[in-house]
Structure 1
Amino acid sequence: MRQKRLGAELRKLRERAGVSFEAAADVLECGKAKISRIETGVNGIRPVELRVLLKAYGIEDQALSDALLSMAREGRTRGWWNRYGDVLSDGFADLAELESKASSLQLWETILVPGLLQTPEYMRVLFRRGRLDAPDTEIESHVAGRVHRQLALDRDDAPEVWVVLYEPVLQAKLGGQAVMRDQLTHLANMAQRERVTVQILPYGTESHRGMNGPFGIVAATTPGMEVVRMETMATALFVEEEAQVSSYKLVFDQLRAAALGPAPSLELIRSAAERL
């Protein structure tokens, strides 16, 4: 995923600079196919080559150059998610990678509490029902992987997390009353963190913009690098095209504008927990 993000950024920089494939290949003294493989994330790029390209593209922003060089150096390093390679699909490994470097996360959920805010027992219910006949060891590996993902929120430079939940998320009885009560109590506690905001979109809201389903917007520390992610039972899917990402950002802005504010949302979460 790091190679894909780096390649996509290099393509944008090349196009903005008006440099052709052929000219970029001449700069690196290579074939056009190599430039294509770098920009599509198939191949990585050595830092020394990256510096040459950035100079050719007229990049003078030192912060941007440093961020891209860091991505090039880290492109082949192994992250903690590699330990769960037997159960994590490439999509979920990519999601863990994105979250580990994120500067902000914007999440819209219609049915479930977002993975980063789930309790282990709530996770176990979801994994058991989503993976029929899976052995307990596999379930526990999935839980451990998701718990490890949540450590992104404990970093010194933890991302800003903004969550909008559809009210039915609070009314579900996943795993029974005790599991759901503990989950809502945990959600309320997380909502009081300095860098976490949770809003509830009331059930009676008419014609809201989130009817096409849940999604998340992950903004990386590299300027202008944002990805939309959608999770399925088996993997995570990503939208990286700039115009489409902008459309999702507009939808999210409209959802949080229509939702209850953080304070009344917190009271609603607590009330739902108390009823259980």
Structure 2
Amino acid sequence: MPARRTITARQERLGRELRKLREQAGLSLREAARVTGIDEGKFSNVEAGRVGVSAERVRLVASGYASADAALVDALAAMTGERARGWWAKYRDLLPPGFLDLAELEHYATYLRSFESVHIPGLLQTEEHVRAIYSSSVSELPEDQLDARVQFRLRRQDVLGRADAFRCEVVIHEAALRVRAADHGVARRQLLHIVEQSERPQVVVRVVPFDVDGFTRIGNPMLMAGGPVPQLDTVLLDSAHGGVFMDTEAQLDRYRRVISDVEAAALGVVESRDFIHQLAKHE
């Protein structure tokens, strides 16, 4: 199988998880190649995400490692599909890879938990709000790029209409709610849209107001995407330089605590909805 031209975050994650299984089995690359019958060079490329691997090969590898975690092995086997199968593939040559990685992460997530301290969460933004954000970006975007980014963000929101047990829990700091991407009218309609979306059974929106005592978590926005098993959860930290994916056991434990702290400081669901309604009345 030829090496990939580009490697997605999901493909890199699969490779890292296969490497973890090998290391837990106490095997070197050479020993793993001998146990599974896979060429050592190819094995290295699979673990780096540069070369694809089939579901059957994943199960063969896990069997060679004597892995007893059947749920994890099943989840890894399910990760062997190619990005081209997702709706985001048509944007591959239009948008930066990080955009596609985020859409893919959300698409496969079993749940989403996020905290936004500066911006309205992308999944809850109105079209006019999205367009205002990109129109005022530091580097002026050509019209086709602007349209592509707006439509891409709106298409990501389809995840909120999933029919399964998916759940999206969002905590927004009051600061983010008060930032105007455009004029008063856009801001008011954006706030009312958040309230409307919060009435979906699978969407939970809560607010951390300015007057909460001792709240010190107003840092980088973060998103936790649930995997099919807890080991495959992912944290995405947003920054000025782009998103950073984090998935080591220590990182996941840390950010589970962080987002739990944020949720503990937030208002209840009904109080939050009333809070946003009041902000909208003053826009």
Same fold (TM over 0.5): yes
Give the 3-state SS of the residue equivalent to 1:130 in structure 2.
coil
Does the 8 Å contact 2:56/2:77 carry over to 1? no
**Residues 148-199 of structure 1 deviation map (CA, whole Å, 9 limit, x = unaligned):** 1111111222631111111112222221111111111110111121111111
Deviates more, 1:154-163 or 1:116-125: 154-163
Name the amino acid aligned to 1:120.
E
Instruction: Please give the residue correspondences for 1:88-99 in structure 2 after superposition, counting only pairs within 5 Å.
Output: 88-99=95-106
Match of 2:133 in 1: 126
What letter corresponds to residue 179 of structure 1 in structure 2?
V
Matched length: 275
Structure-1 residue corresponding to 2:41: 33
Give the gaps of 5 or more residues in structure 2. 1-8
Structure-1 residue corresponding to 2:123: 116
Q: Distance in 2 between matches of 1:101 and 1:203?
A: 34
* Range moving further from structure 2, 97-106 or 27-36: 27-36
Q: Which residue of 1 aligns with 2:143?
A: 136
- Equivalent residue for 1:47, pick from 40, 55, 67: 55
Code of the residue aligned with 1:217 in structure 2: it is M
Aligned AA for 1:83?
A: K
* Alignment-mate amino acid for residue 86 of structure 1: D
Give 1:138 deviation, angstroms: 1.6
Separation in 2 of the partners of 1:164 and 1:52? 42
8 Å CA contact 2:220–2:239 kept in 1: the answer is no
User: Alpha-carbon deviation of 1:23?
Assistant: 2.1
Over the residues paired in the alignment, what is the CA RMSD in angstroms?
2.0
Alignment partners' CA distance in 1, 2:16 and 2:273? 39
Write the distance in 2 (CA, Å) between the matches of 1:25 and 1:87.
39
Q: Partner amino acid for 1:18?
A: G
Contact 1:89 1:234 in 2 (8 A): no
> Unpaired segments of 5 or more residues in structure 1?
none
CA contact (8 A) 1:27 1:52 kept: no
Mean CA deviation greater in 217-226 or 252-261: 217-226
| TM-score, length of structure 2 as denominator length | 0.89
TM-score by length of 1: 0.91
Q: CA deviation at 1:223?
A: 4.3
Match of 1:231 in 2: 238
Contact 1:109 1:214 in 2 (8 A): yes
Corresponding residue for residue 275 of structure 1: 282
Q: CA deviation at 1:46?
A: 2.5
Maintained 8 Å contact 1:92/1:235: no
Q: Partners in 2 of 1:210 and 1:66 — Cα distance?
A: 36
Give the whole-Å Cα distance in 1 for the aligned partners of 2:242 and 2:178. Answer: 26
Residue number among 100, 114, 127 corresponding to 2:107 in the alignment = 100
1:24 to 29, 32, 41: 32
Q: Secondary structure at the match of 2:50?
A: coil
Displacement of 1:62: 4.5
Question: Which amino acid is the alignment partner of residue 275 of structure 2?
Answer: L
Equivalent residue letter for 1:51: R
Which residue of 2 is the match for residue 217 of structure 1? 224
